[in-house]
Amino acid sequence: MSRDGPILLTGYGPFAHHKVNGSWVVVQELNSIGVKHKDETVPLVIKEIPVVYDAVHEQVPKLWSEHKPRLCIHTGVSHYTELKIEQYARNSVYFPPDVNGKCPEKYECEAGGPIRHETTINVQLICDGANKRQNDVTVLVSQDAGNYLCEFIYYKSLHVGTSPTLFVHFPTIGKPYTSTQMAIGLKHIVETILDNEMDKM
């Protein structure tokens, strides 16, 4: 992890019955709240990504190249009732079509890529640390990112990125948490990562 560079945070755009994607709402709220490490404000770059496989292929490498983030966290919504941090992402099978009705070629993220990529971050440690910082939301480890755009972007970033990367799944807003509660929960996740990962350098 570089000590320089911003934190890159992405949320997804609308899909299916999610006319407003809660992940993007939460990311925008966190951008307003801010993130600190050792009492210093850390710059954030936020980006809304369309729920489109081709958009992920095009935009993710550009975001890494342009911003050279010290940390990257992608987010999305799920059926979970807790915040879930994903342990790894698989290269296939991405069969469900995106909002344009398309699937990736051969239903995989990267031709010839590893079966899966696993984050270098100690996910259980981050969950434990984030849960100790606050009581409004529960943060748990997950080992199934869903074989859709959420897992797809996670694999893509782990494949092309050069700094620690995570994917965080949020419940639907209001089921049970408000967007503000989840933004604060995400803040604690990010700050726990910064405290643990930066201290290794």
Q: What is the C-alpha radius of gyration for the chain, rounded to an integer number of angstroms?
A: 16
Tell me which CATH code domain 7-198 carries.
Answer: 3.40.630.20
Which sequence spans correspond to the domains of the chain?
7-198
- pLDDT, residue 198, reads 66
- pLDDT, residue 163, reads 95
Calculate what percentage of the chain has a pLDDT beyond 90.
Answer: 91
Active-site annotation holder among 72, 109, 127, 150: 150
Active-site annotation holder among 74, 117, 169, 188: 169
Tally Cβ neighbours within 10 Å of residue 153.
29
**123-133 and 179-198 helices cross at what angle (nearest 10)?**
120
118 is catalytic: no
Q: Are 149 and 66 in contact (CB under 8 A)?
A: no
Backbone angles phi, psi at 180, to 5 degrees: -65, -45
| pLDDT greater than 90 at residue 55 | yes
- pLDDT, residue 18, reads 86
86 is catalytic: yes
Residues sharing a CB contact under 8 Å with residue 63, sequence separation 6 or more, in sequence order:
8, 10, 45, 47, 69
Active-site annotation holder among 86, 108, 151, 197: 86
150 is catalytic: yes
Q: Tokens in use for 64?
A: 């890494």
Q: Could you report the per-residue pLDDT of 156-183, keeping only the tens digit for each? A: 999 999 999 999 999 999 999 999 999 9
- pLDDT, residue 200, reads 59
- pLDDT, residue 12, reads 98
Q: Could you report the per-residue pLDDT of 98-143, keeping only the tens digit for each? A: 999 999 999 999 999 999 999 999 999 999 999 999 779 999 999 9
